[in-house]
């Protein structure tokens, strides 16, 4: 955690967003060197102005980072940076991934197979019923359900996944020590036990309105597709759908009653090309082209240790052989041989450009 103090500190400097953070780390290799850099060196980084440079120079690194680290340790919160192996692979693919995540609970090996479900905070009985059914159907096929733990549709999505014995990820627009909305206290702890609660915001950050559009890009970024259930014409859920399109994710919408205010957003999405969905059967073929209606098998017998190590690195998100080699710390030739064996066993599929996915 000592080195992560500087990650925590840089993430807390006013004016340093995800892009500026990444640009500085790319130039100076690590956050610790950012704080040691001269003003002239910092000015050479794309997107860093005088105000941000002064904020970096004035920031009380040791004091603030030590206090933040102490809070995290006291709450049992893990800190994942985008350089850590456990950082969500799907999230790394977006334009502006969070430099670090505060994590309560533990990510599972299958969490890259995820679908987000978001919608109105004033979900109707119809919207709630459809949400719970879709969430349960997805969970029954080992798909992790992602949402924002807001009132209404988000809450129902998490509850449906847990009731089906599945996994769920909640992305907060506040610190991971804050239960928001407060009536979700029991759900909050259930998710920690059977999934993950994450935030890019420092501990004790209040749930301010400006935070939620930012967190919406994480909801879509963690997922292979986003399902919108009941949304008004100006709903925040449409921001999530917009992020999904920008990130190359699938966008799905549940049709609503014509004339209802909470149907305007979803019905408009369908008119614009989002896929109309009535159940998980409309979602799975789009995110898993080779899906055959069977449960994803996690246990694979008769594998060598090396084969198992490679298989655990793969998901339904394509991964290049060079990246597999880097993550496994094996030579490319050895990795190529192992991938061929796994392909012959029907466990791995090779796409174009030396990209591989798990079957």
Answer whether 343's CB lies under 8 Å from 349's CB: yes
Range scoring the smallest mean pLDDT among 6-10, 14-18, 44-48, 160-164: 44-48
> Which pLDDT tens digit goes with each residue over 102-141?
999 999 988 999 999 999 998 888 899 999 999 999 999 8
Alpha helical stretches, state H, the chain? 4-12, 18-28, 31-36, 39-43, 50-58, 61-75, 89-92, 125-140, 153-163, 185-194, 211-221, 236-246, 264-271, 284-287, 305-313, 321-328, 332-344
What residue ranges define each of the domains in the chain, with the CATH number in brackets?
A: 1-74 (1.10.150.20), 114-287 (3.40.50.450), 305-358 (1.10.10.10)
Predicted confidence (pLDDT) at residue 220 exceeds the cutoff of 70? yes
Kindly report whether the peptide bond that precedes residue 117 is cis, defined as omega within 30 degrees of 0: no
Closest among 306, 238, 234 to 269, alpha carbons compared? 238
**pLDDT the model gives residue 316:** 64
Predicted confidence (pLDDT) at residue 312 exceeds the cutoff of 90? no
The pLDDT-based confidence of 2 (bands split at 50, 70, 90) is low
> Which pLDDT tens digit goes with each residue over 52-111?
999 999 999 989 999 999 999 999 999 999 999 899 999 999 999 999 999 999 999 889
Distances (CA, A) of 30 to 63, 73, 99: 19, 22, 12
> Which pLDDT tens digit goes with each residue over 225-272?
999 999 888 788 899 999 999 999 999 999 988 878 888 889 889 999
Distances (CA, A) of 25 to 31, 65, 283: 6, 17, 38
The pLDDT-based confidence of 355 (bands split at 50, 70, 90) is confident
Helix (H, G, I), strand (E, B) or coil at 272: coil
For residue 116, the surrounding DSSP H or E stretch is strand 114-119
β-strands 114-119, 225-229 pairing: parallel
CA-CA distance, 66 to 8, in Å (whole number)?
Answer: 9
Answer whether 196's CB lies under 8 Å from 169's CB: yes
Mean pLDDT, residues 282-308: 66
The pLDDT-based confidence of 294 (bands split at 50, 70, 90) is very low
Token pair in block for residue 218: 């994480």
Q: Between the CA atoms of 246, 248, 254 and 260, what dihedral angle is there, to the nearest 10 degrees? A: 10
Predicted confidence (pLDDT) at residue 321 exceeds the cutoff of 90? yes
């Amino acid at each position: 955690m000592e080195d992560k103090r500087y990650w925590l500190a840089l993430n807390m400097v006013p004016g340093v967003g995800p892009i500026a953070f990444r640009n500085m780390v790319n130039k100076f290799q690590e956050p610790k060197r950012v704080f040691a850099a001269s003003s002239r060196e910092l000015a050479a980084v794309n997107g860093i102005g005088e105000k941000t440079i002064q904020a970096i120079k004035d920031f009380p690194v040791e004091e603030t980072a030590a206090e933040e680290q102490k809070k995290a340790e006291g709450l049992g919160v893990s800190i994942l940076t985008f350089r850590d192996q456990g950082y969500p692979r799907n999230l790394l693919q977006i334009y502006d991934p969070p430099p670090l995540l505060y994590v309560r609970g533990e990510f599972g090996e299958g969490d890259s197979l995820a679908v987000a479900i978001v919608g109105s905070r004033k979900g109707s009985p119809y919207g709630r019923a459809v949400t719970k059914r879709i969430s349960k159907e997805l969970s029954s096929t080992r798909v992790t359900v992602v949402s924002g733990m807001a009132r209404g549709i988000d809450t129902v999505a998490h509850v449906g996944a847990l009731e089906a014995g599945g996994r769920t990820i909640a992305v907060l627009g506040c610190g991971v020590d804050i239960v928001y909305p407060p009536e979700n206290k029991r759900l909050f702890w259930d998710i920690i036990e059977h999934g993950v609660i994450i935030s890019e915001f420092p501990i004790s950050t209040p749930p301010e309105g400006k935070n939620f559009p930012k967190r919406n890009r994480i909801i879509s970024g963690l997922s292979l597709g986003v399902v919108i259930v009941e949304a008004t014409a100006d709903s925040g859920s449409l921001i999530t759908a917009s992020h999904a399109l920008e990130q190359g994710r699938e966008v799905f919408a549940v049709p609503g009653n014509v004339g209802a205010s909470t149907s305007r957003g979803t019905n408009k999405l369908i008119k614009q090309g989002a896929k109309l969905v009535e159940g998980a059967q409309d979602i799975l073929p789009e995110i898993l082209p080779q899906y055959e209606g069977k449960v994803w098998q996690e246990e694979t017998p008769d594998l060598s240790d090396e084969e198992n190590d490679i298989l655990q690195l793969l998901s339904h998100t394509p991964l290049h052989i060079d990246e597999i080699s880097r993550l496994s710390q094996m030579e490319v030739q050895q990795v190529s041989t192992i991938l061929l064996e796994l392909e012959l066993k029907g466990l791995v599929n090779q796409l174009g450009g030396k990209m591989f996915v798990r079957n």
